[in-house]
Amino acid sequence: MKKWQKTTLIIISGYISYYTSYILFKLLALNEQTIVVISTLIGLFPLILYIFVIRKMIKKENEEVSKSSIKIQELNKLNEKYHFKRITKKKHNIIDREYSRKSLERVTGSSIIKYHIENNIDLIRTDIENAIYNIDLLEEYTKEVDKIINYKSKNKTNYSSKKFQKIENRVLNDSIHKRKEFLIKLKLEVYYRSNAGKVNETRYGNYSFEDLVKLYKEWQNGNKYEETIKQERKIMNDDIRYNVLKRDNFTCKLCGISAKDGAKLHVDHIIPVSKGGKTVMSNLQTLCDRCNMGKSNKMEDYSSKNSMICPDCGGKLIERKGKYGIFIGCSNYPKCHYKKSKK
């Protein structure tokens, strides 16, 4: 019997059961509402019975074909070999409330999501990491599956070859891991509501798996960048500081002021750590506190750049950073107070 024939038979059986029971209960003079409820349940009984029988039959077919099919057996072994990580939620929802209209305008969806990723709120970071791992693993898994699909199974059941193949394909399709199983989506809702409740503004955003991976990698790279900076700064110790100061004769490499002049000396990274500089002797130099403050995290060589001569004392003019910003000042400060604004 074909599917449409089975469906038609079930519908007809349901109608017959419903109207038969309806007429019967009507003759018994029962309440109208009670009659409708009971008749509906009786009418649905053939459908429920059919579903139960069909499910049991499908399970039996699957088991029989699985015992005979080499493809299914090999796929089961493959699924045991590849351990895909569990995704807790395929669709995440983030609802964020802002307490002013300005913050609502200023806040970005990416910053909110990165915050949730960083703190692993609702296991979102775990799910993204697991999904990335699973999809990377899926490439290798798919190649193995393609090989298995080409195997030829022998029909040792009582089913026809056509039916055997149909059941086999159904079982395989249900058992093969697919990419869509691991794709995560996210819906973002950011809203502002005034205390009086008169102002209500809401913004929505939908993020695909690709969007989430991009944001995750941005967060990850930023995290690694901060960790690298911390690590490089930890390398600096008293021995390295002393060796650099001794090599530079305890003299500022930019302005020439020394410890004998009462200068407070620092060991500076020529290429700043924030720009990829390493804590090695070749990348370290001695600077006084003023030159170090003026240089900040710049990579310029002020000794060659600022070759201007101070008109008051003949010293070098260098860039300095003061209360009101960067200015040109004499390297012999505090002996010389010459300064001018930077143009």
In a domain? residue 76:
no
In a domain? residue 245:
yes
pLDDT value of position 299: 57
136 and 11, same structural domain?
A: no
Last residue of a domain, one of 17, 42, 68: 68
Q: Is the overall model pTM greater than 0.85, yes or no? A: no
182 and 168, same structural domain?
A: yes
In a domain? residue 300:
no
β partners of residue 185: 91
Question: Within the chain, how many helices (H) and strands (E) appear?
Answer: 11, 8
In a domain? residue 112:
yes
Percent of the chain with pLDDT over 90: 25
Give the count of domains, the chain: 4
Mean pLDDT of the chain: 82
330 and 285, same structural domain?
A: no
92 and 171, same structural domain?
A: yes
215 and 93, same structural domain?
A: yes
In a domain? residue 92:
yes
221 and 240, same structural domain?
A: no
Give the span between the Cα atoms of 317 and 303, in whole angstroms. Answer: 9
332 CB neighbour count, 10 Å cutoff: 19
Residue 303 in this model has a pLDDT that exceeds 60 = no
Q: Which two tokens stand for residue 186?
A: 């996210």
281 and 147, same structural domain?
A: no
In a domain? residue 302:
no
93 and 190, same structural domain?
A: yes
In a domain? residue 77:
no
Contacts of 190 (CB under 8 A, 6+ apart): 95, 96, 97, 98, 104, 107, 109, 112, 202, 203, 204, 205
Measured over the CA atoms of residue 110, residue 111, residue 113 and residue 114, the dihedral's sign is positive
165 and 94, same structural domain?
A: yes
125 and 60, same structural domain?
A: no
Last residue of a domain, one of 231, 248, 278: 231
H/E segment holding residue 339: strand 339-341
Q: pLDDT digit string (tens) for 204-217?
A: 999 999 999 999 98
Q: pLDDT digit string (tens) for 248-259?
A: 889 888 888 888
In a domain? residue 74:
no
- What is the number of residues in the chain? 343
Give the span between the Cα atoms of 337 and 149, in whole angstroms. Answer: 84
139 and 261, same structural domain?
A: no
Last residue of a domain, one of 216, 231, 246: 231
Q: pLDDT digit string (tens) for 129-186?
A: 999 999 999 999 999 999 999 888 888 888 888 889 889 999 999 999 999 999 999 9
Q: Where are the alpha helices (DSSP H) in 69-123?
A: 70-81, 101-106, 109-119
User: Which residue segment(s) compose the domain that 171 sits in?
Assistant: 83-231
178 and 137, same structural domain?
A: yes
Give the span between the Cα atoms of 211 and 183, in whole angstroms. Answer: 11
Q: pLDDT digit string (tens) for 273-301?
A: 777 777 888 888 899 888 888 776 665 54
